[in-house]
Chain A
């Protein structure tokens, strides 16, 4: 019974049905070709020689140490950037001071620097011919081609992720609630823990997820500073490269599949957060 008397009225305000379905099909076809197909290829290639071959890959010591190194790097980098993100967001969102927008621009800077350049700058500082190279060599301290270099490069690349989730959200929330807590007798730290933190917890988790995914998956910056020493300075993405260049495709895709699973879990958790706690996140869908 509904809307039969004049169906033309509705179509004047939206696209004809055939246009709608054509656009949907074009969009889905493009996404399948560009995104879905590579994802499928990873798992297909990894399982090409069966599950047994996978066992061999993950039993390898080099794979094991790559996984450990990747986890170590993330375990150092993410907490550092978490503390930075919260501190920067607190200063920026809760206070007015000159040069604030410049500071925000600086925090975003690593996003616009090529990963290879991100690695290069640390080589220029700490490499054999770098600024501190001779001094480091004299004191037998290794930064480049060692864990500190990998951590530094990864920290540089992932620095903005958490701060960028928190700053707009905390700016939106303003200072009224913290001030109310202070008037009720709470100390500054207590106000932060009992009032600010609950207000930003989902955005914090969101930022940590993205930061962690990037920290574990970063390739270009780490490739420059790591030196590719098997079993010592190979992270998982670098291990993928080495296996691939050795024509061990099953091995390369097996490690790649593990990283792809991490990406999928990250995406799933991110979508869940956006769907369930969308209101507690500030303006989604950037980066």
Chain B
């Protein structure tokens, strides 16, 4: 198993900086998600690790070996492309065998051995017996599995996946997620995948690296990034929070004229951003409540109700989740308690949710 060390990596495209000094350690055998909005540089970073993009600056080490100057052919990475990039004039078996058959004669396994490997991999990706078909005859999910089998065939040191589930519909996507997790547990490859879907990242990955504007904002376990976001960007990007621009003064958190809560000890006075997830709000009776709001909308989901609540004129609506037994109607005034305060000094440079 091979870890990857990314040090000071920068990449310019025609004058714009796509990667801006990335430092990242990927541990041997872990499943790491590169998460970020579009244009954050996550795919560029993945392609740089693979050797598909020449770096402007920085180094990349594979398990202690400097791979920076290594050609893509020599890096021994397994790369699964977003649109699979299967060779459509080859059968599934020929696709999977390709990485073995292009080796110089001395390193090439015998024909029988290649056939055996192909069958083994088709079993691994749960598509036994389709070796003779052409990619054009497969469904999207099947192509994805064949692409993975093809990448695994060369026994790569690391497995890199670019938006592996991006082109699939919701149900297939869910099945494949679980299945990828299984494969990773069985094969133990160091695996990096790119996604813009935070749910996918936290559900699948051992650790998540959150990228924004070519920089790493935070690296940590799903618990870390969800419960202890390092900065306002991370808090806004993961966890589906509503952002309120607030002010901290006199030990109170205020939004416009409203006082929302008592500021946590150590909160820096001044402008701040408050991130509210719908579970952070406890909704109760308006009587005697320090903070109240008006229900402006109610939406039903399978096991709960989501309330849209307006605290005061001029503030964006916030959302709260309540049980199905909670009786509420549009226009009701309810009492609110903020259970968790995710508060970050406001930096005008950092974008909101």
Asked if B353 is at the interface (CB within 8 A of a chain A CB), the reply is no
A residues 1-44 near B (Cβ < 8 Å) are 1-3, 5-13
**Is A9 a contact of B51 with CB atoms below 8 Å?**
yes
Which B residues contact A (CB, under 8 angstroms)? Answer: 12, 51-59, 68-73
**Is A5 a contact of B57 with CB atoms below 8 Å?**
yes
**Is A9 a contact of B56 with CB atoms below 8 Å?**
no
Asked, given contacts A10-B54, A12-B51, whether A5 binds B12 with beta carbons under 8 Å apart, the answer is no
Chain A nearest CB, measured from B52 CB (Å)? 7
Chain A nearest CB, measured from B95 CB (Å)? 20
**Is B56 a contact of A2 with CB atoms below 8 Å?**
yes
**Is B56 a contact of A7 with CB atoms below 8 Å?**
no
Query: B residues within 8 A CB of A9?
Result: 51-55, 71-72
Partner of A13, one of B12, B52, B55, B68: B52
Partner of B71, one of A3, A5, A12: A12
Partner of A8, one of B12, B52, B69: B69
**Is A3 a contact of B73 with CB atoms below 8 Å?**
no
From B54, B55, B58, B70, name the one whose CB has the most chain A CB atoms within 10 angstroms: B54
Query: A residues within 8 A CB of B53?
Result: 9
Given contacts A6-B69, A13-B72, 11 further A-B contacts (CB under 8 A): A5-B57, A5-B59, A5-B68, A6-B55, A6-B68, A6-B70, A7-B54, A8-B71, A9-B52, A12-B72, A13-B52
Asked, given contacts A9-B51, A12-B51, whether A1 binds B56 with beta carbons under 8 Å apart, the answer is yes
Which A residues contact B (CB, under 8 angstroms)? Answer: 1-3, 5-13
**Is A5 a contact of B72 with CB atoms below 8 Å?**
no
Closest to A3 in B: B54
9 A-B pairs (CB sep. < 8 Å): A1-B56, A2-B12, A2-B56, A5-B56, A5-B68, A6-B54, A8-B69, A8-B71, A10-B54
Query: A residues within 8 A CB of B56?
Result: 1-3, 5
Complex CA distance for A1 and B69, rounded to whole angstroms? 16
Chain B nearest CB, measured from A83 CB (Å)? 41
Binding site secondary structure of chain A = loop
**Is A12 a contact of B73 with CB atoms below 8 Å?**
yes
Ranked nearest first, the 8 interchain pairs of A and B with the lowest CB-CB distance are A9-B54, A12-B71, A3-B54, A6-B69, A12-B72, A8-B71, A10-B54, A5-B55
Complex CA distance for A7 and B71, rounded to whole angstroms? 9
Chain A nearest CB, measured from B64 CB (Å)? 18
Complex CA distance for A226 and B194, rounded to whole angstroms? 71
Query: A residues within 8 A CB of B55?
Result: 3, 5-6, 9
Complex CA distance for A6 and B56, rounded to whole angstroms? 9
Chain B nearest CB, measured from A5 CB (Å)? 5
Chain B nearest CB, measured from A13 CB (Å)? 7
Chain A nearest CB, measured from B50 CB (Å)? 10
Query: A residues within 8 A CB of B59?
Result: 5
Closest to A5 in B: B55
Complex CA distance for A3 and B58, rounded to whole angstroms? 11
Chain B nearest CB, measured from A217 CB (Å)? 39
Complex CA distance for A11 and B54, rounded to whole angstroms? 10
Closest to A6 in B: B69
Chain A nearest CB, measured from B74 CB (Å)? 9
From A1, A3, A9, A13, name the one whose CB has the most chain B CB atoms within 10 angstroms: A9
Chain B nearest CB, measured from A32 CB (Å)? 34
Complex CA distance for A7 and B68, rounded to whole angstroms? 10
Query: A residues within 8 A CB of B72?
Result: 9, 12-13
Chain B nearest CB, measured from A150 CB (Å)? 48
Closest to A7 in B: B54
Complex CA distance for A7 and B12, rounded to whole angstroms? 14
Closest to B60 in A: A6
Chain A nearest CB, measured from B198 CB (Å)? 31
Chain B nearest CB, measured from A213 CB (Å)? 37
Query: B residues within 8 A CB of A1?
Result: 12, 56-57
Query: B residues within 8 A CB of A3?
Result: 54-56
Chain B nearest CB, measured from A4 CB (Å)? 8
Query: A residues within 8 A CB of B73?
Result: 12
Closest to B72 in A: A12
Chain B nearest CB, measured from A2 CB (Å)? 5
Complex CA distance for A246 and B104, rounded to whole angstroms? 66
Chain A nearest CB, measured from B203 CB (Å)? 33
Complex CA distance for A208 and B149, rounded to whole angstroms? 53
Closest to A10 in B: B54
Query: A residues within 8 A CB of B12?
Result: 1-2
Query: B residues within 8 A CB of A2?
Result: 12, 56
Query: B residues within 8 A CB of A13?
Result: 52, 72
Complex CA distance for A10 and B56, rounded to whole angstroms? 12
From B12, B58, B70, B71, name the one whose CB has the most chain A CB atoms within 10 angstroms: B71
Complex CA distance for A6 and B75, rounded to whole angstroms? 13
Complex CA distance for A274 and B245, rounded to whole angstroms? 52
Complex CA distance for A1 and B56, rounded to whole angstroms? 7
Closest to A11 in B: B71
Query: A residues within 8 A CB of B70?
Result: 6, 8
Chain B nearest CB, measured from A33 CB (Å)? 33
Chain B nearest CB, measured from A174 CB (Å)? 25
Query: B residues within 8 A CB of A8?
Result: 69-71
